[in-house]
Every structure is written in structure tokens, then in C-alpha cells.
Chains A and B, each alone.
Chain A
Amino acid sequence: MSVPLARRAALLLAAAGLALLAQGLWIPVKAQVAQVLLDRAFERSVASGGPHKPWPWADTAPVARVEAARLGVGEVVLSGGSGEAMAFGPTELAGTQRGVRVLAGHRDTHFRFLRELRRGDRLVLRGIDGSAGDYRVIGVSTVRWDRFAYPLAPPRPLLALATCYPFDSDRPGPLRRVVWAERIA
């Protein structure tokens, strides 16, 4: 009597488990696939000098590419800063004053490399206008998401890369890791 019931429950559980697994798996896959499409959109944007959408229904477009040569990492940065765009790539937060750019990305996909960045590391930020800025990492800070501030008039242009912290945690938390870099060329 209890056998078919238990079996049915087991099948349901297995299906739920598989679905969850697939959903979890889908996130990094989506992040990877999107970067491929974004790379292409970025190249096209650079070639044409204007933003190109990576896919027709996208709410966002590439604005830059951030590269860390020592780690061999390069990620296409999207406009917007919305949670949706962040699934596909790091985004540039709007609303910062002249001289400061803030990029935000997920700690378990695109911005995992933040963990490896050290003071002195070189970063390159390429714009879709063909410009390239060389930055040097000058420090790292950990702040609450609502207590982040940047200097209004830095002596040199600044670049801040922000992601969730701690890196190993899987739960959404209030802390953010911010890697600061200043422009050297």
C-alpha cells in the first residue's frame, strides 16, 4: 500500500531536485553564454561607435569592457545597474560624478575574479568609443551596501568594482567588497 505512495513522493522529490538543479545550473550557463553574445555586441559597438544591443529584446547594451591582464579576465560591462542586466554581466552604476566610475557584478559569476585582485594589479577599461584607460588597484574596502561613498573630487579618476561579500557565502547579505583603482594612463 505504502509503496506506490512513497514512490510517487520520491518521483516528485526527484523532479523537484532536478528542476532546482537545472535552475541553479542555468545561472552560470546564462552568465557565460551572455558574455559570448556580449563580446560580439561590444566588438560591433566599438566598430560602429554606438551601443549595440546583444540580442534584440535586451534592455541593456555594452558600455565598456573591463580587463585584468594578470588574471586573464575580461568582462563586458553593461549599462543600467538593474538586477536583470547583472545576470548577464557586470553593470555600470549611473549617477556618479565626473571622475568616478562604479561597476557592480555578481561575486559567483562575472566578478569572482575580484577575490584575486591585489594592490598594484593593472586593470584596463575599454570604452565602446575605442578609448582605453589604464588603472592600478590602490586598495580594497568592505562596506555595507547603503554606506558606500566615493570622493567627489578625486585627484585622479577612480574606478570602483563592487560585488557581494563574503565570497564564499551563498546568502544575500548587506556587505559589499569594493576594489578601488586609480587611473594611471
Chain B
Amino acid sequence: MRRTVLRKLGIGWLLWPVFVVVVAMFSAAALTAREPADDLPDAAAGGALMLRGKGMAEELPAVRLATDIAVEVSGPVARFTVTQAFRNSSPRWMEATYLYPLPDDGAVDSLKMVVGGRIFVGRIKPREEARQIYEDALANGQKAGLVEEARANLFRNRVANVGPGETVLVQVEFQAPVRRAGGTYSLRMPLVAAPRYVPPRSLAGRTAVEDALDVTAPLAAPSIAGGLNPVSITVDLAPGYAPARIQSPYHRVVVTETGRNARRVALAGGGTAADRDFELRWQAPGTAPSFGLFRKRHGGLDYVMAAITPPSAGPQGEVPPREMVFVIDNSGSMAGESMRAARDSLIYALGTLRPQDRFNVIRFDDTMTELFRQPVAASADQVATAVRFAEALDAEGGTEMLPALQAALVDRRGGSGLRQVVFLTDGSLSNEAEMMSEIERGRGRSTVFMVGVGSAPNTYLMRRMAEAGRGTFTHIGVAGEAAERMQELLDRLTAPVARDLEVTVAGANLELAPRDLPDLYAGEPLVLLGRSRNLAGAVLTVSGTVGGNAWSQALRLDDAGESDAVAKLWASRRIAEVEARRWSGELDYEAADKAVEALGMDFHLVTARTSLVAVDETPTRPAGASLTHEELPLLLPAGWDFDALFGDQPSFDGTETADSEASQDAALELPQGGTGFASMMAQGLVLIALALALLALPRRRGRWSEA
């Protein structure tokens, strides 16, 4: 019922080229009709749905917000101090709410609320308890601040009882590791929470809808956007060497030298609008140190962070032959843009195969097809067959990934060469636990790479699968970026630098996060975070295979620099792992909650289960004065088209809402509402007529030749 007739016959690939040529010749218009009009990207065909229940703000908010961000980079860690000034410009008592993003791996550990020269320090509490404390204070007329996590990289600040004309400062601090790729170091600070796409499937039930509302905020209309939410940024760079070639790709900055190895970077002109991410890149002069080692003692345990760059494996000319298995999801949830992106990615990847490589393609929905019975040599013919196979894929049916995964992991040839499995999927499935254990058990010499396709793939699952399969996770949002992102991924795949990495510590047991170390690709350092009872005098040995040869490096932990950040980074990495295991079903919900709460309380971190709350014990709002709640509008990220989101509001007759407060609208995208079967049938009939004409033609010619 769900297989198309074409696929059942197995001759779809044969028919399409014929069809395309003939129809192109006889009815170019009919062919273009099968494509959506060029200027109208039809994301709705993919079933994507944007929840913007909070609508837009047309009037300036009563509470104005200004943000200052100060970043200190010391060694491998950047410490961010974000100060949000909430100024109440109205004659009313206000409560304000602001939704803001932080880097993926940032962990908020400090909250300070400053009211008229007095500082209130936030305490970490389990989420419900923190909210109760805040709401009690709110009701009592006391000033209070609350930091809650909405998503791992999205936070919400609330500040209560800001008096008329008053300003309350809310300061949060967090840290994130400095990223390194090749010789370039970078840090990234997102400044705005983009309106989120929420897949309709995820909105089953009221709690899911509430959760989605939690990650959305009203958007500022262009008329009020100018000058709203200004941000100033200062970065103090002290990485331990003289940073060179400092660049900020999205903002104009001024760099001043503050010491031999220190630079200060500030925004040119002082401030900017919070509508795009801030990024800073720099390089180490000459030969960068091949490793960085830092430690910290916390709560009776030693924490260590090591960043190690293995030696490059000689000239990166010829890559040894490898076996690649591509697994493509063509289930119903992929319909539309996701399917196009996956198909384009696969076809791009097939084009990069070399004759000495072997490959196979597996497609799955609730059934599964292996293109070849076993991986075959990537000859031009075989690759062409695979491309045709990819082009004919339709998105239909359920998502049964397990059999495909099992088939992909079957390693018939064995040996020690490279075997890479590339998954192209949106990961909408419910049996994650089975997937995880299958990878753990059946991985063998295979490396599993996850390519998440579509606007909202199941990222946690895919990161976790890639981690278990020692590969990487890449996200492709739209078909347009398929080639670019696949190229990045495949470039890295061609040159795995170090494999089979292991870490041992003489005389101590090291608890690593992540627990399995990934293979390393060109330019990637190994960043490991671990903890142990006592690391004094211990030697940490990293070993593995680099370019086919055994390699190892020993680090004396007594040489490690002291860094306060290490323990907290370990904890936030561990929290991410617990969250991933929660979504993969490995940990049940309560156990994961408990583990996250324990880590949050222990390391003083804001998590899904713990929040920071600060309260001024003295009530300031006079009894009887009422409180107004306000959710501060966000700027639309640069490059987004406001009109496309909130343009013409459709006018429908009959219902005119009297209450102007309530006449707010919410937008919703409507899916594609036509199948186009009639033109498909018409084109079929044209082809048949054409065939009849062709058959009639030679007979007539034959008669003429007789005459």
C-alpha cells in the first residue's frame, strides 16, 4: 500500500530518464509545474510548522534592556560575564522576562542581582523550589531574580518588582571551552534566540505545547526594533601566548594591546544590536603548543582537562582505500525539504568515491532495501546505478531504522581498513535504546557518522549515536546547503588522523566525559575531561594509532596549570551526556532528572533541573500597588525577513474582536495542499499517445517503401 507501483516493479530508474527527456521536449511547461516556483521556497511541504504563539510586539516595552558582555579568555577557557540592565521606564511596578541564548557548552554558575548599590547573590536550588522562592518574593513585593534553563543553550531570566523609574542589574556568569580547529582558536557568543521551528509531531499534548512556548518569545516589530536591546562586548584575551590575526567576522572591533600576551577586543563604536552571533577568532603564533593541560581539585576529587593534538600523519596525499556504507531514511517524516536535502547529500557523497573504494547504499522506511548485496567497488557504472537509486527515492512509510543499522554494520570483509557508515536521517524514531545498544555491540571497525537532515532533527539522539559510533554529527537544514556541509564532512572523513584512542593514568582510575573517545580528523584536538580521586604525581598517557603507526604521549599531571573552570566543564559535559542518555532511553526519565539535579547542585550550575534564584529580603513594592508582567520582545536575527513572518494579516469577515488586548494574532504555516495527480495522469497519457504515434510511424514508412 505504501510502496509506489514504480518501486514495486523495480524499474523506476529506467523510466525516469526517458520520461524526463520526452516530457522536456514536448511540454517544458508541464515539467516545471512539478517543481515549486523558484522564488517561493516551500518549506511547508516538509510539514515544518513554526510556533509563534507569542506574536509580535508593536509598542516599545515598558522595561528597557541593555546588555554588557565581558569575556576573559585564560588558557583553554573563556569566562563570560553577562550583565543585563532592566530599566523600568513606566510609572508601574513591573516584572520582566527575557529569553536569551548561550553557547552550547556554556554552563551558568553564578547569578548576582544589583539593586541601587546592594548586591544579592543567587543560590542554586532545584527548579521547582527556586521557582517557588521567586514567586513568593514576587507576591510579597520583594525584588527577585531567577535564571532558568529552557534548553541546554537557551535560558530565561525573570526579574520581579522593578519600581517606577528603577534599574535592576542581573548578572550571570558562565564559562565555555575555547574551540580549536587547526591552528585557529575561536569563541562564539550567540546574542539572540532565533524563532524556533517546532515540528508538528513534537506538539502532541498540552505539556509539549507549553514546552514549546517556553522556548519562544514575542518579536519586536521593525518600527520599534531600532535601538532596542543594545549590547556591548569586551573580550580580554590572555591565552598564554601572544594571540595573532585576531578577527571578528560579524562585527567591527577595536583591538588594543594590554600586555605582552594580552589583548583587549571591544566593539567599534561601543555597542551593537542583539541580532546576530558574536564570534572572535585568533591564532597562536608559530608552532602552537601540541597540548594544554589543566586541573582543579573540587570536593575531594581531582579534575583534569587535556587538549592534545596528535602529530599529523605525514603528507596527506593518498588516502587508503575505504569501505563506505550510506544509509538514507526515506520515511514519511522526511517528506519534502528533508528528503531533497538527504538525496542531494547522498548524490554529492557518491560523486566523491574513488575506484579503489568500496561502497553500498541502504534505504529504509518501515521496509529496507540494500542496493547491492554487499559493498562493491566504486566503478563509474556502480556509482551511476547508486545515483539513479537515490534520485528515485520517495519519502513514505514509518521509520524502522534498526534493520538498516544492523545491515550497515555487517562487515563481510573484515580486516583493519577504514569502514565508515554515514546515516542521513531526521532521527524521528522511538526505539533509540535499541539503536544505541546495536551500535555499541555491532560497531566493530566501523565508524558511524550521523547527518541530521531537516529543520528539527532529533539532535540529541544523533549526537549520541555518533559518539557511540566514534564518528561525528553534522546538521543539514535545507537542500541548499547539502553540498557544502557534506563536503566539510567528507573532507574530514578522508583524513582520519588518529584512531583507537585510549587514555590511561598510572595508579589512578580516570572517569572520562565522554566515556568513549572519538577518532580524530584533520585539525581536531582531542579534548578530554576526566576526574579521579587523586592525580598528584600521576602520569596520563594517551595512546592510539596515527597514520597506521602506534602513537602515544605521556603527560605529567604535576605540570598541569590550575584552572577553576575544569571541574565545572567536566560537570557540564557530564550533564550533556546524561541528557543524551535520557533521550536515547538508556536512562529512565526520573533517574536522569536525579542525576542532572545532583550534578547541578554539586557544581552550582543552572541545568534543566536546577535554577539560580536571588531575593532581596526587604519588600519594596508598597502593599496594594499592582504588578505588571512583561515579556521583553526579541529582535529578529539579521537576515530574517520580518514581512515573510508577520506580513499581511489575513482579514476574515465576521469576527471582530472587541477587546484590543486580545486581538493579538498567532502565525501558523500551512502545509502543501495538493497532490497534483491529475497532471501526473495527463503526462502519462501524453507518453502513451506518443508511443502509439511512434508505433504507427514505421508501418506507414514501410508501406511507402513498398509502393
Contact = CB atoms under 8 A, between A and B. Distances in A.
Interface of A: 2-3, 6-7, 9-28, 30-31, 33, 55, 57-59, 79-87, 91, 93-97, 102, 104-109, 111, 119, 138-156, 158, 162-165, 169-174, 176, 178, 180, 182
Contact of A84 (B335, B664, B667): B335
Given A94-B200, A106-B674, A150-B668, A21 B685 contact: yes
Contact of A174 (B9, B37, B687): B37
A57 B365 CA distance: 11
Interface stretch (B93-101, B630-638, B644-652): B644-652
Interface size for chain B: under 10, 10 to 19, 20 to 34, or 35 or more residues? 35 or more
Contacts of A18: 684, 688
A125 B12 CA distance: 41
Contacts of B652: 138-141, 178, 180
B648 A83 contact: no
A81 B681 contact: no
B42 A174 contact: yes
B672 interface: yes
A108 B674 CA distance: 6
B679 A83 contact: no
22 contacts: A13-B690, A13-B691, A15-B15, A17-B683, A21-B685, A28-B677, A57-B366, A58-B398, A82-B200, A83-B336, A95-B209, A102-B668, A102-B670, A108-B675, A143-B648, A145-B671, A149-B650, A150-B668, A162-B673, A164-B673, A176-B673, A182-B654
A77 B138 CA distance: 44
Interface stretch (B261-269, B493-501, B534-542, B655-663): B655-663
Interface stretch (B48-56, B383-391, B600-608): B48-56
A98 to B, nearest CB: 9
Contacts of B280: none
B625 interface: no
Given A18-B684, A147-B648, A149-B668, 18 more contacts: A16-B15, A16-B687, A17-B688, A19-B5, A20-B19, A23-B5, A84-B332, A93-B670, A95-B49, A95-B203, A105-B673, A106-B674, A106-B675, A141-B651, A145-B669, A146-B669, A148-B670, A154-B657
B697 interface: yes
A21 B681 contact: yes
Contacts of B19: 16, 20
B707 interface: no
Nearest to A181: B654
B702 interface: yes
Nearest to B674: A164
Contacts of B681: 20-21, 24-25
A3 B203 CA distance: 61
B538 to A, nearest CB: 53
A176 to B, nearest CB: 4
B673 A96 contact: no
A107 B673 contact: yes
Interface in B284-337: 332-333, 335-336
B332 A17 contact: no
A94 B674 contact: no
B666 A80 contact: no
B623 interface: no
A139 B2 CA distance: 37
A169 B14 CA distance: 29
A14 B654 contact: no
Contact of B671 (A104, A109, A156): A104
Most buried by B among A108, A156, A182: A108
Contact of A24 (B673, B684, B692): B684
A86 B684 CA distance: 24
Contacts of B669: 145-146, 148
Contacts of B668: 93, 95-96, 102, 148-150
A172 B4 contact: no
Nearest to B43: A146
Interface in B355-409: 366, 395-398
Given A17-B690, A145-B670, A84 B649 contact: no
Contacts of A12: 14-15, 18, 691
B116 interface: no
B631 to A, nearest CB: 14
Contact of B673 (A14, A55, A106): A106
B204 A79 contact: yes
Contacts of B558: none
B1 A30 contact: yes
A23 B680 contact: yes
Contacts of B43: 146
B49 A93 contact: yes
A43 B178 CA distance: 59
B212 interface: yes
A27 B1 CA distance: 11
Given A21-B688, A80-B201, A171 B34 contact: yes
B665 A171 contact: no
A13 B676 contact: no
B560 interface: no
Contacts of A148: 650, 667-670
Contact of B212 (A11, A19, A93, A95): A95
Contacts of B46: 83
4 pairs of A and B residues whose beta carbons are closest in the complex: A84-B332, A17-B687, A21-B684, A20-B684
Given A13-B687, A95-B212, A153-B662, A111 B673 contact: yes
Most buried by B among A22, A141, A170: A170
A164 B662 CA distance: 29
A15 to B, nearest CB: 7
A176 B44 CA distance: 11
B670 A14 contact: no
Most buried by B among A58, A94, A154: A94
Given A149-B665, A178-B670, A11 B691 contact: yes
A50 B43 CA distance: 32
Given A6-B697, A96-B668, A154-B657, A57 B5 contact: no
Given A23-B5, A30-B1, A141-B652, A170 B678 contact: yes
A11 B687 CA distance: 10
B568 to A, nearest CB: 36
B397 A57 contact: yes
A4 B490 CA distance: 46
A108 B678 CA distance: 8
Contact of B200 (A95, A105, A173): A95
A151 B55 CA distance: 10
Contacts of A170: 33, 674, 676, 678-679
A19 B7 CA distance: 10
B686 A171 contact: no
Contacts of B1: 30, 33, 55
A151 B657 contact: yes
Contacts of A94: 49, 200-201, 203-204, 209
A172 B674 contact: yes
B40 A173 contact: yes
Most buried by B among A12, A79, A155, A158: A12
Contacts of A182: 654-655
B333 A93 contact: no
B452 interface: no
B654 A139 contact: yes
Interface string B35-47: 0110010111111
B22 interface: yes
